[in-house]
């Protein structure tokens, strides 16, 4: 059984931080290198970073499969769109419908807020995720390169799904 649970406490933020460490080390070293993985984990996926994001309106959720935490997501309304900041599922639990379940939840959240679209950024070399997003109705709207500090960049496609 898949559940999506709101993360609102420091202990829940720590669950997400631990999931991020596991998932990012499984998936991203071959795409962006270990140094950038460590930098981005600290800057964007630590309990401290999550606490700061929540204070500016980002909503975090962790995903469970048979009561085991297996992934996380974060969303934030920006003007008339819902920005999907994060959606990650542990490698051992991919292919079980968890990501799709999370995206259905995100669709419903956007509709509840009467937003016109969902937008996300995905690394240009993360081909499996790009393909999954395309199957779920997202289209690439532009390429973007963002300086995130410490000599690192995010080389992404911006994708959007109209509602």
Burial 50-85 (b: 16+ CB within 10 A, else e): beebbeeebbbbbbbbeeebbbbbbbbbeeebbbbb
pLDDT at 127: 94
The confidence band for 11, taking pLDDT boundaries of 50, 70 and 90, is very high
**What average pLDDT is seen over the chain?**
96
% the chain with pLDDT above 70: 100
Identify the CATH number of the domain defined by range 2-162: 3.40.630.30
Averaged pLDDT for residues 48-59: 98
Residue reference for tokens 């960049």 = 153
CB atoms within 10 A of CB 93: 20
- Report, as an integer, the average pLDDT of 34-48: 97
Q: Which DSSP state fits 115?
A: -
What pTM was estimated for this model as a whole? 0.95
At 141 the pLDDT is 98
Facing residues of 158 across strands?
A: 121, 142
């Amino acid at each position: 059984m898949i559940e999506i649970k709101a993360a609102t406490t420091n202990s829940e933020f720590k669950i997400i931080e631990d999931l991020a460490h596991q998932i990012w080390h499984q998936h991203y070293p071959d795409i962006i290198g270990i140094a950038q993985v460590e930098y981005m984990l600290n800057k964007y996926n630590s309990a401290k970073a999550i606490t700061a994001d929540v204070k500016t309106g980002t909503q975090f959720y962790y995903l469970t499969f048979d009561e085991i935490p297996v992934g996380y997501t974060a969303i934030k309304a920006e003007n008339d769109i819902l920005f999907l900041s994060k959606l990650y599922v542990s490698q051992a639990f991919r292919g079980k419908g968890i990501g799709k379940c999370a995206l259905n939840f995100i669709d419903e959240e956007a509709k509840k807020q009467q937003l016109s679209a969902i937008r996300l950024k995905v690394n240009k070399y993360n081909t499996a995720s790009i393909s999954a997003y395309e199957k779920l109705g997202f289209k690439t709207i532009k390429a973007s390169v963002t300086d995130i500090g410490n000599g690192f960049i995010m080389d992404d496609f911006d994708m959007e799904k109209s509602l």
